[in-house]
Amino acid sequence: MRKLAYLSLALGVALACRDPEVPDLNNPITDDLLTHPTPSKIAAAAQGLMAGARLNIAEYNGYVSELGLFGRESYIFDPGDNRFETELLFGPLDPGGPRFGGNLWVVRFANIRAANNLLTALGSSALIGLTAAEKEATTGFAQTIQALDFLEVINTRDTIGAPIDVNRKLGDPPAPFQPRDVVFTHIVQLLDSADTHLAAGSAAFPFQLSGGFSGFDTPSSFRKFNRALKARVQVYRGVIFSCATCYTDALTLLTNGSTFIDTTPGFSLDAGVYHAFGTGSGDLSNGLYDPTPAKLYAHPSLKDSAETQSGSAALDRRYLNKIVAVTNRVYDKHSSSYGFTRYGSNVASVPIIRNEELILLRAEANIGVGAANYATAGQDLNFIRVNSGGLAAKTFTVATPAATMIAELLHQKRYSLLFEGGHSWIDYRHYGKLTTMLPTQVGDQMFTLMPVPLDECLPRTRPSRGCP
């Protein structure tokens, strides 16, 4: 898939900055797509969005591992660069480091721009050979991937916010930063617009999706992925902004068949949508596969806080399935004797969203609604405890303290979604529990967000939002 990845980068012009690892190809491919769009170019651009969406996700210093480090799921012990300790654990975060404090920005906006170029080409009168329904389906696909990219941006920058009006030409002024709530609103609008387009779409996409979308590779089934992402976003908004209607909207999505949530007999907790990887010529492998391990270690606290299984001295099944004891590694002031088995090979897929998360999101939304829904939330929490962790069920009632419900939710999400997408950092931050409920070694800093890259700030009037 190298050509697809390069296409995504070629189509994507980052806002005002240039990352040395994301070259500006000055876009002959982009120009050709926009001036002479054809069905084959549209298909290549759509597939490029999938390739772009997985970039910087499963690298050893990418989204999963760096957010995992911030959320005390993991350590990165790189023998060639101690900044994974001196900066990412001790601080301060340097916005000039494109693989450290300033990481996880350019590639996301490159893919957002690539989606905008695809959407422009779809609306071109020069495009011949696609039916109206095929254009609708492709539009819905592009907007959904774009929403996912924006979500990953705001997950890392949080209260700083982010630019959203980025469909600009080279030489235009930088897009202004928007507050966090505006970014989240934009994400919801993108997802809802995408859902409308998908509903009006053709029976099949006019391009092939990767194997990570198996079961969600038609416009109709892809809508369930779209609605699942919206449920996640609405739960996030419910927690962050104390938004009651966001919780109820999420519950509607998670109970009316709009998503792929499933607790019926024969359920699979792993059903969902994934980033796919491979080792073929030009493809991208999963950099989170580190069996030795060479760089990626599990945080020791994961063993310390793991519960034991029902009627057994064995630890939580999720812990046993994802972590293994290894030779102790000392990395200056940190050490770990645990590695990850979460990804069993360098072609293992990385979840974007799966059934287990949806069940926990439904529990979270019910907790957010209030005490009257605690027992219902408890049913989902116990479903995960029993079926995923092998743990004994607990009793949850209207009288259970809110703090107890939240602590249980966060604990279950931590082990169920471990090393999949920075969920511990994101979730504990949403509840203001980073420093009170996650382990912090003396001398470490617990960061709540990543700074805006320096190159993004240089062309802006300063000080301005996100830039000192």
**DSSP letter string, 281-336:** TT----TT--SS-SSEEE-THHHHTPPBPTTSSSB-HHHHHHEEEEEEEEETTEEE
Per-residue pLDDT of the chain (468 residues), as tens digits, is: 433 333 333 333 334 333 334 443 334 467 899 999 999 999 999 999 999 999 999 999 999 999 999 999 999 999 999 999 999 999 999 999 999 999 999 999 999 999 999 999 999 999 999 999 999 999 999 999 999 999 999 999 999 999 999 998 888 899 999 999 999 999 999 999 999 999 999 999 999 999 999 999 999 999 999 999 999 999 999 999 999 999 999 999 999 999 999 999 999 999 999 999 999 988 999 999 999 999 999 999 999 999 999 999 999 999 999 999 999 999 999 999 999 999 999 999 999 999 999 999 999 999 999 999 999 999 999 999 999 999 999 999 999 999 999 999 999 999 999 999 999 999 999 999 999 999 989 999 999 999 999 999 998 988 888 887
> Nearest Cα to 270, choosing from 416, 148, 149?
416
The pLDDT of residue 376 is 98
Q: Residue for token digits 């240039």?
A: 18
The pLDDT of residue 308 is 98
Backbone angles phi, psi at 198, to 5 degrees: -65, -40
**CB-neighbour burial class of residue 254 (10 A; exposed 0-12, middle 13-18, buried 19+):** buried
The pLDDT of residue 334 is 97
Token code pair at residue 110: 């490159």
Identify the H or E element spanning 39: helix 39-54
Angle between helices 355-369 and 219-241 (to 10 degrees): 40
The pLDDT of residue 182 is 98
Question: What's the Cα-to-Cα distance from 101 to each of 56, 95, 97, 246, rounded to whole Å?
Answer: 14, 5, 6, 31
> Nearest Cα to 69, choosing from 406, 307, 336?
336
Question: What's the Cα-to-Cα distance from 180 to each of 177, 183, 434, rounded to whole Å?
Answer: 9, 5, 19
- State the sign of the Cα–Cα–Cα–Cα dihedral 254, 192, 357, 207: positive
Position 320, amino acid? L
**CB-neighbour burial class of residue 223 (10 A; exposed 0-12, middle 13-18, buried 19+):** buried
